[in-house]
Amino acid sequence: MTESLKIAVAGLGTVGAGVLKLLAEQADVIEQRCGRRIEVVAVSARSRGKDRGVDLSTVEWYDDPVKLAAHPGADVVVELIGGSEGAAKETVETALEAGRHVVTANKALLAHHGTELAAKAESKGLAVAFEAAVAGGIPIIKGLREGLAGNRVSEVHGILNGTCNYILTEMRTTGRDFADVLADAQKLGYAEADPSFDIDGVDAAHKLAVLTSVAFGTPVDFGNVYVEGIRHVSALDFDYADALGYRIKLLGIARRTEQGIEQRVHPCMVPKAAPIAAVDGVFNAVIAQGDFVDRVLFVGRGAGAGPTASAVVADLMDVARGRFTPTFGVPAAQLSKAQPSPMEARRGAYYVRLMVVDRPGVIADIAAAMRDQNVSMEQFLQRGRAPGEAVPVVLTTHDTNEAAMQRALATIGAKEAVVEPPRMIRIEQF
């Protein structure tokens, strides 16, 4: 009988406990499918006494995950600590130095250090596997890296953060404001006590940087991801979006353009008929465009113990079979540096919401600011009249340049009759 694959698990939070539970409950299925058992030989976590719903009596315990990473009997170190620096980074580096394969769910670590970790692993003939780092249980990394290996991918975009998708879905379906829905999301456990990492788009940006590297065969380039969160999206925006035929989603978008590769995370209005518009709640979705396969859509749960553990164990099974590919699809030394396309070069349509004093000449001033930047308006909406009072005004544009749009908004926002900063949401015609 083939010797078992021995693993050491660093981090026993929701995902770590889920991995141990899955390995125990599915042991026979795993052995049947990869020809050997996967055996947990060591673990590390902050608290030994916590009940995690799994039997840890036969495994070796480490208080220090870095020491765990050099465990002499482990073939693979599973890093589930999180964070781009500190213990997580040191644990992974120590594991690779000790000749251990690494499986991780740590998108922040990969976004900041993925290229160098890939180079170190590949120089030693080791795997760094990270299916669980992006979109939870959705097999998007394998889908891009292996399933679409014969394609040149021109675009990948998607809903990469379930917390934001839940908040935006609730705002649309209940009509409540952002702050109220966020508070409920925190009570339900969908949002952290400090939700900024999610709602400001950073989590989605980490994932997008990793997806971009896999999709385009480039070094991970988190520093050139444009990031904008959802704090400024209001219930009023959902009313207008519905009237205009759109849904509002926080999307990560990576695309090849004539200027280079653009990477951006921000709220988008997408047509109601677009497949991604129907993905609601805590679900994630990723769409990839390949030259031979055309468009493929992946949908599923993007977080949680079960889905994320499923992705971790799938990577462990690949290692158990002796089947693994270069970390980002091509050898690290062959990742091709790509010119980043600046956000200012983005071209597309825009939705703009203004609060203006209802008096003669204001709309003409807005139109003049748009005209001076060669921005063409497509639709203009003002509901009701309130002479002398502030009223919402909404406009949409034809395709135009981001830099021109920003200049026009700066001019409009400086006008005395505009009583709040202009709110802009980009329109994507998927």
**What is the C-alpha to C-alpha distance for residues 159 and 306, in angstroms, rounded to an integer?**
19
| CA dist list (Å): 113 to 80, 130, 191, 202, 319 | 16, 13, 26, 16, 22
- Residue 83's contacts (CB-CB under 8 Å, 6 or more residues apart) are 89, 106, 108, 109
Q: What is the largest CA-CA distance in the chain?
A: 85
- Residue entry with tokens 């006590």: 193
Q: Is 50 a catalytic residue?
A: no
**H/E segment holding residue 239:** helix 235-244
Q: Nearest Cα to 77, choosing from 304, 314, 316? A: 316
Q: Which of 120, 207, 249, 415 is catalytic?
A: 207
Instruction: Tell me the CA end-to-end span of the chain in Å, nearest whole number.
Output: 51
Which residue, 365, 357, 353, is CA-closest to 412? 365
Q: Mark 271-290 as b/e (b = at least 16 C-beta within 10 Å).
A: eeebebbebbebbbbbbbbb
Extract the tokens encoding 430. 């998927």
Q: Would you name the residues annotated as active-site residues?
A: 207
